[in-house]
Amino acid sequence: MFFSRKAKPLIDRVAAILASYFSIEADITAQWCADKLDADQAIGDKKADNTKADHETPSNTFTINLPFCYKTQQATIKAYVLEALKGELTEQQLIVSQHIASGETKNTAVNNIKNIIAVASGKGGVGKSTTSINLAFALMQEGASVGILDADIYGPSVPIMLGNTDAHPHSTDNKHMQPLSAHGLVANSIGYLVPQEDAAVWRGPMASRALKQLIDETLWPVLDYLIVDMPPGTGDIQLTMAQQVPLTAAVVVTTPQDLALADAQKGISMFEKVGVPVLGLVENMSYYQCRACGTKDYVFSKDGGEILAERHGLPLLGQLPLDITVREHADAGTPLLVSAPESPLSESYREAARALSMQLALTVAPRTQQSKHIKGDPIGVNSKL
């Protein structure tokens, strides 16, 4: 009965310590704390999701169960809490773990996929696909199971960035596809299925139907996050896709330039219109840092993403530099975060991924509806369109 008398106050104190660490409300952080001797009090909305972790926890321990992915920071969080508790818990007694819950969706959710996140941009060429793939790997490195769906029907670039352009998904029943896997990331793309020239001439309904098939007919493993690299723009096609896919949330990528920001604003409005919460903005190509002297040049203007985010009351999830290595890794099909995980650039993506994951956990309600796999028509994207 190690904690029996102190359990409540300890939970409250750890919650307050976490609140100060993350700079957020204490009453939310209280939900993340559980004392093994009082495991049923894993308080709040995430209770059901926490149950598994609680049962696996050894006795006489105190568990912090984060509802977002923060794996690379767990040791730091643990040290921070232990230090703040001034010896009240030993290192062995404090466990920091994470369990990502399924977020609510407007449309019936897809079985196996806890959260589908659209990465969109109002304007082409701002680095949406590059950001999507790097965020996907960053989320993985933060401990999440992640897939990527290349919905950029008119310019699928996921196969290039993963270095597997000649690969094709297999099917054993001619109805469902096994997604491809590259460096642990599961992926599917129209680029694996049809020659680009074919997809490039599809009209809106064909494109959105193809996307729906890719979601419904891919045998996704259990995923915490499926990142959907959307086609650029905010036209009818994007709107239909945003409505058809059971999206949990969206992220909008922009450069700091006025022109891109005006389009990013349209992107935010589009998701608002279809009731998909926007988690925040990612500003790409924020600056160029000279390798020789370290000077930062704001090639595409400065602070644009921050101003737009403020205007919409959204967080700026990340600011990524214009850097030749980002482009080189994308072109070579050697993902940056896999090839150079320790680089400051990779850390910038992980920082954005942590912010994204945390924002989703804090702002999107946990799923209450039963998820159902909606089986579409058999595969045959080409012949049917």
Ligand X SMILES: Nc1ncnc2c1ncn2[C@@H]1O[C@H](COP(=O)(O)OP(=O)(O)OP(=O)(O)O)[C@@H](O)[C@H]1O
Sole binder of ligand X in the list 115, 284, 319, 357 (CB under 6 A): 284
Residue number, 15 or 264, with CB nearest to ligand X? 264
Residues 35-94 that bind ligand X (CB under 6 A): none
Query: Which residue is listed with tokens 């896709």?
Result: 241
Sole binder of ligand X in the list 63, 129, 218, 238 (CB under 6 A): 129
- Virtual torsion, Cα 255, 305, 20, 69, nearest 10 deg: -30
Residue number, 33 or 285, with CB nearest to ligand X? 285
Q: Per CB under 6 A, does 127 bind ligand X?
A: yes
Sole binder of ligand X in the list 124, 333, 341, 376 (CB under 6 A): 124
Q: Quick check: helix, strand or coil at residue 249? A: strand
> One symbol per residue from 93 to 122: x for binding ligand X (CB under 6 A), - otherwise; what is it?
----------------------------x-
Contact 152, 118 (CB under 8 A): no
> One symbol per residue from 141 to 160: x for binding ligand X (CB under 6 A), - otherwise; what is it?
-----------x--x-x---
Residue number, 133 or 279, with CB nearest to ligand X? 133
Gap between the Cα atoms of 130 and 229, Å rounded: 9
Gap between the Cα atoms of 67 and 29, Å rounded: 10
Provide, rounded to whole angstroms, the least separation between the CB of residue 278 and ligand X: 17
Sole binder of ligand X in the list 320, 336, 379, 381 (CB under 6 A): 320
CB-based contacts of 31: which residues, under 8 Å, 6+ apart? 42, 43, 44, 45, 46, 67
The tokens describing 102, both together, are: 């399924």
Q: Which residues of 102-114 are buried (b: 16+ CB within 10 A; e: fewer)?
A: bbbbebebbeebb
Contact 191, 165 (CB under 8 A): yes
How many of the chain's residues bind ligand X (CB under 6 A)? 20
Provide, rounded to whole angstroms, the least separation between the CB of residue 349 and ligand X: 10
Gap between the Cα atoms of 72 and 92, Å rounded: 19
Residues 207-236 that bind ligand X (CB under 6 A): 232
Provide, rounded to whole angstroms, the least separation between the CB of residue 106 and ligand X: 25
Q: Is 304 annotated as a binding residue?
A: no
> One symbol per residue from 3 to 42: x for binding ligand X (CB under 6 A), - otherwise; what is it?
----------------------------------------
Gap between the Cα atoms of 382 and 306, Å rounded: 42
Provide, rounded to whole angstroms, the least separation between the CB of residue 131 and ligand X: 7
Residue number, 164 or 284, with CB nearest to ligand X? 284
Gap between the Cα atoms of 360 and 331, Å rounded: 30
DSSP 8-state symbol, 181: E
Point out which span in 92-100, 123-131, 166-174, 352-360 binds ligand X (CB under 6 A): 123-131
Which is nearest to 185 in space by CA: 200, 173, 167?
A: 167
Q: Is 128 annotated as a binding residue?
A: yes
Residue 365 CA, chain-centre distance (Å), reads 16
End-to-end CA distance of the chain: 66
Provide, rounded to whole angstroms, the least separation between the CB of residue 290 and ligand X: 14
Contact 119, 264 (CB under 8 A): no
Q: Per CB under 6 A, does 162 bind ligand X?
A: no
Point out which span in 30-38, 105-113, 264-272, 322-330 binds ligand X (CB under 6 A): 322-330
Gap between the Cα atoms of 57 and 53, Å rounded: 6
> One symbol per residue from 327 to 346: x for binding ligand X (CB under 6 A), - otherwise; what is it?
x--x----------------
Gap between the Cα atoms of 294 and 310, Å rounded: 28
Residue number, 65 or 284, with CB nearest to ligand X? 284
Query: Which residue is listed with tokens 């773990």?
Result: 97
Q: Per CB under 6 A, does 263 bind ligand X?
A: no
Provide, rounded to whole angstroms, the least separation between the CB of residue 196 and ligand X: 12
SS (H, E, C) 117-134: EEEECCCCCCCHHHHHHH
Q: Per CB under 6 A, does 130 bind ligand X?
A: yes
Residue number, 179 or 232, with CB nearest to ligand X? 232
Annotated binding-site ranges for ATP: 122-129
Chain positions contacting ligand X, by CB under 6 A = 121, 124-130, 152, 155, 157, 232, 284-285, 320, 322-323, 326-327, 330
